[in-house]
Amino acid sequence: MTSKPFALSVRIVLFDQHGHILVLKRSKSSRTNPGKWELPGGKIDKDEAFDAALKREVLEETGFQVVIHTAAGTAMQETEEWRVVHLVMIGSMMSGGLAISSEHEEYRWASPIELGGLEKADWFEEYFRMYLQAIPAAPKESTGSE
């Protein structure tokens, strides 16, 4: 039995001024995870540094030029051809205006709580469970019956 080769994909967590995270909904015609939500980013081209690839992918997918600050975790994905490792970074928007590419059909600035209710790409679901789900939920309002 031969195992699939590994591939590297880079992703970014971008926050708005309210602490919401930018997520993109993949187009329904995507080969993997059609119609599901994910973080901006994508594959690294041959001989491309991962940080340059991330900046390129984010610009192509969102119209934002970004600066990368730190690593924020990893997740795995199995496709027909590859075992994809998603390296997730945290960054900031430097310039540009939001304009999503044809790879995606919608965008949303979502709180970690809202992210929990979205239908996420398989790798993003794994990442969410490992890293984002631990963010405390907003306190529930009292019903007065306690």
Domain that holds residue 15: 6-132
Total domains, the chain: 1
pLDDT in tens, 79-128: 999 999 999 999 999 999 999 999 999 999 999 889 999 999 999 999 99
User: Looking at residue 134, what is its pLDDT?
Assistant: 60
Rounded to whole angstroms, how far apart are CA atoms 91 and 101?
20
H/E element holding 37? strand 37-38
Residue 87, strand partner residues: 10, 74
Within a domain: residue 83? yes
Within a domain: residue 145? no
Within a domain: residue 82? yes
Within a domain: residue 96? yes
Residue 144's pLDDT band, with cuts at 50, 70 and 90, is very low
Whether the per-residue pLDDT at 57 is higher than 90: the answer is yes
Backbone phi, psi, residue 70, to 5°? -160, 165
Question: Taken in order 117, 26, 122, 40, is the CA torsion positive or negative?
Answer: negative
pTM of the model: 0.88
CATH code at 29? Answer: 3.90.79.10
Within a domain: residue 142? no
Q: Are 27 and 104 a contacting pair, CB within 8 Å?
A: yes
Q: Any idea which residue has 């491309």 for tokens? A: 48
Within a domain: residue 139? no
Backbone phi, psi, residue 132, to 5°? -95, -30
User: Looking at residue 38, what is its pLDDT?
Assistant: 98
